[in-house]
Amino acid sequence: MKLGRSRLLLSCHVLLCLSVTWMLATADVPAGQRPGCLANCGDVDIPFPFGIGEKCALHNGFKLNCTTVEGVNKTLAGDAEVTKISMPDGKVWINARTMSWRCYNPATPSMDTEYNGGLDLTDTPFWVSEVDNKIIVIGCNTLAYMRSFPYVIGCSSTCNTTLMNDTCSGNGCCQADVPKNVRDYYGYFNEDYNTTQTWQSSPCSYLAVMENAAFNFRANYVNSTVFYDTYNGKVPLVLNWRAGPWTCDAAQKNMSSYACVSKQSVCINVNSTTDEPGYRCTCSDGYEGNPYINNGCQDIDECLKNATLCGSGICENTPGHYTCSCRRGKDLTNGICQSRFPVMPVVGTTVGLVILVIALACACMIQERRKLQKMKRDYFRQHGGLILFDEMRSKQGITFKIFTEEELQQATNRFSEQQVLGQGGYGTVYKGILQGDVEVAVKRCKIVDEQQKKEFGKEMLILSEVNHRNIVKLLGCCLEVEVPMLVYEFVPNGTLFQLIHGNHGMCISLATRLGIAHESADALAYLHSSASTPILHGDVKSSNILLDDNHKAKVSDFGASILAPIDKSQFITLVHGTCGYLDPEYMQTNLLTDKSDVYSFGVVLLELLTAKLPFNFDPDVPAHEKSLSMMFMYAMKENKLNQILDVEIKDGDNTEIIEEIAELAMRCLEMCGDNRPSMKEVAEKLDSLRKVMQHPWMQRNPEEMECLLGEPSSMASSTITSAEYFSIEKKVVNGLQSGR
């Protein structure tokens, strides 16, 4: 039960009490403050269009009251106290009873009390300032929010650590931004969070939309009623206001009700809501005062305000501006009055100097251009460009291209940040469009090893010969820069990392995941054993597996392996490494092998099965759950694999296939590299599992089963279950491993 739940409709307490629609101004709109109207009430100045008394305001929307409370004059709008009015800013500061609270009542333990404060400024010239206010929530285990159509905005606060004064970031206190154009709102508490379990240490929870500058969190707000007592339920709030509900163009057409009456005033359009216009008035540049009354905007005497405005010159005030001059015979230059020189000698000297400067500039430009061309030639030689040219001439039909720096700059809009596709340890990748509207990915490497520069061009040619449907094609390179740039084919559908971990609302089937895994493994197996020169990838991870429009995998970034070769038969990288994927054996020996790629691919398999990140940096997570591979090993050891699987693939029909993939991942993640399978074995295993997914093993032709399993079937019946297939297939794999 809730005791005392109410919604505070502030039509009786705040500016809404001005029930007469403010948009309909009185028939005889005053041109300024009339005689007898109060200019202030207590410490608050009352500038027109606001007013106290009959016909003292521009219209009823700006009508205020001056009331004596305990011997002190206070300015009120309803029962909300107005504490300040700003004409230039178009703002009003008020103290309003808008605080919401929810408290535990020890006298009735099964019930608590709740007060839902709010504000309704409909049909008034006011709305809540999104710049000056914040949504404040105070309490332990508290979730509260402000509702204002179409917004529902709030935050939750807990008390997990020691509360600290002046800190409102989720511990005992949290805050959220106020949305734009709020004219009404109400505060609410989530019952599932604001429970009575913490009442002894935190008896009350609070929500308030209030002025950000007036709030300073104190730890005792949580364990007492000090927050409520400090403001007595009335919190400071800043409101924006407008003179009328029309645009400036519309308001100026009806001069009888147009509020900007001062000759030196200008109209400013303001938006009080998303679908309702409005306008305010301000004084023109060089003028100050009240634009809502006749002759209210007065000229600013800039010379009087700033005696050094013209330096050593003479300052003369003009309407809306000022001028600087010197006495006769002198000119003002940079605020200093200087004597004049004869015109002709000065002109002749100036022309001569200009010609000399132009000539020197041209000579410097020519010299710099020659230096730049020489630098590009030197870089080209250093990176093995001449060797690359010789190799390209000796091999006919090669499609590899050497690009100029200017070509790639034009293709990537001078390497604009808007063209960035991604950043990694080796460089930044940009999307580019070559002549003929050919989309490419341009990679600017960060570093290149000095010992490798001469062989770089030759190595580029070797990588260009890599030709596999599941490997991103290397189209060319640019060698005339300090660090070479690589040009790849463009793959449009993002990365596997984005598919698995992105918030895209897609359901990824097991068949799709298995297809991506098989295609990626097949590509890595090709690099290891089928390329003209064996290539180790060195940085296998889900963000280096790109996807086309049909979710076909393309392994990318294998070119990173050329950046630090250790001999002439293999390209091996000094891996920067990606946390969660790095081979623990490599970390001990500093020797990268093909089995290092196998380990990293095993982590990718875990991502596909669990949809979890390879490493969790949360300090509160247990040690065995920080690394995905450690979490997986623990789950397999405790027979809890099902607890970490992605819910999208938890299907009883696929249990055997998932278990086979998990066992394959375990083999890939062996601590000793010699115990891991080769990428070719991994690809073949995934291929067989993929075929099982495509061909259900019910009433299956035995000859097809022989083809998939690789051994004849002597079974009398043509019907075979999925479990029977995996039992037979496991025996085949074990036989291959034992040499039978």
Distant-in-sequence, close-in-space partners of 569: CB < 8 Å, separation ≥ 6: 533, 534
Q: Which of 489, 520, 554 is the last residue of a domain?
A: 489
Other Cβ atoms closer than 10 A to 23: 15
**Does 460 lie in the same domain as 390?**
yes
653: annotated active-site residue: no
pLDDT of 196: 54
- Does any domain span residue 181? yes
pLDDT of 419: 92
pLDDT value for 326: 85
Is 82 within the bounds of a domain?
Answer: no
Residues 85, 93: Cα–Cα separation, whole Å: 6
Considering the chain, what percentage of its residues have pLDDT values greater than 90?
A: 41
Instruction: Confirm whether 547 is domain-assigned.
Output: yes
Do residue 230 and residue 133 come from a single domain?
A: yes
Count the domains in the chain. 5
Q: Pick the catalytic residue from 132, 184, 539, 583.
A: 539
Residues 219, 142, single domain; the answer is yes
The pLDDT tens digits of the residues spanning 1-28 come to 343 343 433 333 333 333 333 433 333 4
Rounded to whole angstroms, the Cα distance separating 383 from 483 reads 9
Q: Is the torsion defined by CA of 50, 51, 55, 61 positive or negative?
A: positive
Contact at 8 Å (CB) between 52 and 29? no
Residue 420 sits in the same domain as residue 517: no
Question: Considering 465, 489, 513, which residue would you say is the last residue of a domain?
Answer: 489
Q: Residue 599, SS3? A: helix
Residues 508 and 397 in one domain: no
Instruction: In whole angstroms, give the CA distance from residue 480 to residue 456.
Output: 12
Q: Does residue 623 sit in the same domain as residue 678?
A: yes
What's the pLDDT at 20?
Answer: 35
Q: 230 lies in a domain?
A: yes
Question: How far is residue 275's CA from residue 271's CA, in Å, rounded to a whole number?
Answer: 8
Looking at residue 29, its pLDDT comes to: 41
Q: Please enumerate in sequence order all residues whose Cβ is within 8 A of that of 637, keeping only pairs 6 or more positions apart, or say none.
A: none
Of the chain, the end-to-end C-alpha distance in Å amounts to 74
pLDDT score for 215: 94
Give a yes or no: residue 229 inside a domain: yes
Residues spanned by the domain of 29: 19-77
Q: Can you give the pLDDT at residue 396?
A: 67
CATH number of the domain that 542 lies in? 1.10.510.10
Please spell the DSSP secondary structure of 608-668, one letter per residue. HHH---SB---TTS-HHHHBHHHHHHHHHHTT-HHHHS-GGG--GGGHHHHHHHHHHHHHH
CA distance 160 to 170: 9
Regions of the chain short of the pLDDT cut 70: 1-34, 105-112, 194-200, 272-275, 329, 335, 339-346, 396-397, 424-426, 447-455, 458, 558-577, 652, 696-740
Residue 237 lies in a domain: yes
The residue from 198, 217, 241 where one domain ends is 241
Q: Are residues 24 and 172 in the same domain?
A: no
Residues 207 and 99 in one domain: yes
- Contact assessment for residue 464 and residue 360, using Cβ atoms and an 8 Å cutoff: no
Q: What is the 3-state secondary structure (H, E, C) of 154-209?
A: EEEEECCCCCCCCCCCCECEEEEECCCCECEEEEEECCCCCCHHHCCCCCEEEEEE
pLDDT the model gives residue 69: 86
Q: What is the pLDDT of residue 720?
A: 35
Residue at 405 is within a domain:
yes
Strands 51-52 and 63-69: parallel
Q: Residue 621 domain-assigned?
A: yes
pLDDT at 298: 92
Report pLDDT for 33: 61
CA 611 to chain centre: 22
* Cβ neighbour number for residue 202 with a 10 Å cutoff: 24
User: Does residue 232 sit in the same domain as residue 257?
Assistant: no
CB 543 within 8 A of CB 496: yes
Same domain, 225 and 134: yes
Q: What are phi and psi of 170, to 5 degrees?
A: 120, -15
For position 83, what pLDDT does the model report?
A: 93
Asked if 68 and 110 sit in the same domain, the reply is: no
Rounded to 5 degrees, φ, ψ at 219 are: -60, -30
Residue 433, C-beta contacts closer than 8 angstroms, at least 6 positions apart = 411, 439, 440
Biggest CA-to-CA distance, the chain = 121
Q: Are residues 542 and 473 in the same domain?
A: no
